[in-house]
Structures are given as C-alpha cells and as structure tokens.
C-alpha cells in the first residue's frame, strides 16, 4: 500500500509539472533553472499529496489541491512564464529587423555607430543596446564570455555566433537571423551583410553559439554605471 501511495504521489507531481510547462496545448517552454516560486509550489504540492490518504484517487487529489488554492497559483505562474516567453520571442524578432536596417553600413575598426561605421562587436553591441536595452561588453571575446553557451542546433534568431578569423577564438561575432544565416560587419573595405554559416570559410571557423540573457556581464543600458 505504501508503494501504491508513493506512486500516486509521484504521478500527481508529474501532472503538476506538465500543467506548468505545457501551455496552450502545444507550446512547450524551455526548461530554464527552476524559479523560486516554482520550487515553492512543487514543495507545497508535494506536501499536499503526501498528506492525502493512500487510497486517494486523481479526482480527490485535484479537489484537495484546488481547496488549497494551488491550481490557481500554478495557472498564474503559467501565464507569467508564457507572457515572458512570448516577450523574449518578440524581442528576438525586433533584433533581427533592427539589424537588417543597417545593411550596407561600412565596416570601421572600433566603430560604434551608423554614422562612423561598425566593427563586428560594435555592431552587435549597438543592436542589443538599441533594441532590448542590454549593454554587452565591447570586444567579441568578452561578449562570448558574458553570454550563455548554447549548442549550434539550438540557435534561434537573435542569438550570437562566433568565429575564429584572426587565429584566436571568438575574434569575430555576428547575429543569427535564422535559416543558417547571420548578419555581421565583416572587415575593412566591406559593409554589413548577411552570410551563410554553411559556406566553407565560416563553417571551418565557427567557434560557438551564445544566447544573451540579463546576467553577470550583461547590464541594462538604462541602469546607472557603477564606478570601479
């Protein structure tokens, strides 16, 4: 009987996890590190499930959790997570659209603006600052160190792609736009353009993919700068 009770308990917890992460029938959100509220809700659900009689069926468990208000809290958290995911996706689209608006701007070593021209990292930094209000570090290698490592197959529009073009890792950076292509400011004498990552030159020099998230090393552009 104890084993059967534990099985019911585990089934209920798994069901609750699915309620939180399966939204709008087919929208599955990425499994990021669990938030503090999610952990609290799971712990509360676990306590409720453990306190229930071993013979409790699924309907009784649902009523028990509903009485404690846990379903309502899970629904609220689910909506908040869904809204955040949709906001991130929308901003990624804005990043690509904004970046495309700079096609044809000339390369300039150390450049930070459309008026003077951009180098690769200056272009990426300006796009993120203007579009989502995040201030990336200035150099390409610093941008790689300050952002989240992802696998190449996980690339989404707005992510960063890095290349070894100067016989050192992360010496060049661009913004992934989808369909295996990226936008970047290549080199002196050239202009901002879209290129295919699959061509031999870029495929051989690909260094890694990164995702920009507000974290250590990535600051809000509106936040006051701390003197060090």
Whether 172 is catalytic:
yes
Residues 6+ apart with CB under 8 A from 72: 66
pLDDT-based confidence at residue 91 (cuts at 50, 70, 90)? confident
Residue 22 pLDDT: 43
Whether 79 is catalytic:
no
Q: Write out pLDDT tens, residues 214-224.
A: 765 676 665 43
User: Phi and psi at residue 192, in whole multiples of 5°?
Assistant: -60, 130
Instruction: Please tell me the number of Cα atoms within 13 Å of 18 on its side-chain side.
Output: 8
pLDDT-based confidence at residue 61 (cuts at 50, 70, 90)? low
DSSP string, 86-135: HHHHHHHHHHHHHHHTTTTPBB-TT-EETTTEE-HHHHHHHHHHHHH-EE
Residue 9 pLDDT: 46
Average pLDDT over residues 148-168: 96
Instruction: Please tell me the number of Cα atoms within 13 Å of 198 on its side-chain side.
Output: 5
- In angstroms, what CA-CA distances link 47 with 10, 39, 128? 12, 12, 44
Task: Answer yes or no: pTM beyond 0.75.
Answer: no
Residues 6+ apart with CB under 8 A from 76: none
Q: Write out pLDDT tens, residues 96-123.
A: 999 999 999 999 999 999 999 999 999 9
pLDDT-based confidence at residue 48 (cuts at 50, 70, 90)? low
Residue 225 pLDDT: 41
30-34, 130-134, 166-170: least confidently modelled range: 30-34
pLDDT-based confidence at residue 226 (cuts at 50, 70, 90)? very low
88, 80, 122, 86: which is closest to 102 by C-alpha? Answer: 122
List the domains of the chain with CATH numbers: 2-21+34-87 (no CATH), 101-220 (3.90.1720.10)
Whether 120 is catalytic:
yes
As a whole-number percent, the residues of the chain with pLDDT over 90 amount to 52
Average pLDDT over residues 38-53: 50
Strand partners, 209: 150, 161
């Amino acid at each position: 009987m104890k084993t059967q009770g534990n099985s019911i308990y585990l089934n209920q917890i798994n069901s609750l996890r699915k309620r939180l992460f399966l939204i709008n029938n087919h929208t599955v959100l990425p499994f990021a590190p669990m938030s503090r509220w999610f952990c609290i809700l799971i712990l509360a659900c676990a306590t409720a499930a453990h306190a229930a009689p071993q013979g409790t069926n699924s309907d009784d468990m649902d009523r028990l959790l509903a009485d404690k208000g846990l379903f309502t809290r899970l629904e609220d958290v689910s909506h908040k997570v869904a809204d955040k995911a949709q906001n991130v996706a929308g901003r990624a689209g804005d990043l690509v659209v904004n970046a495309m608006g700079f096609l044809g701007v000339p390369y300039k070593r150390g450049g930070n603006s459309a008026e003077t021209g951009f180098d690769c990292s200056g272009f990426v930094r300006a796009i993120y600052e203007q579009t989502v209000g995040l201030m990336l570090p200035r150099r390409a290698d610093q941008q790689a160190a300050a952002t989240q490592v992802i696998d190449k197959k996980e690339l989404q529009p707005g992510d960063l792609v890095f290349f070894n073009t100067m016989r050192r890792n992360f010496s060049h950076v661009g913004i992934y736009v989808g369909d295996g292509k990226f936008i970047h400011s290549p080199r002196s004498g050239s202009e901002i353009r879209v290129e295919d990552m699959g061509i031999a030159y870029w495929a051989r020099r690909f260094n890694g993919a990164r995702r920009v998230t507000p974290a250590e090393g990535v600051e809000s552009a509106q936040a006051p700068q701390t003197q060090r």
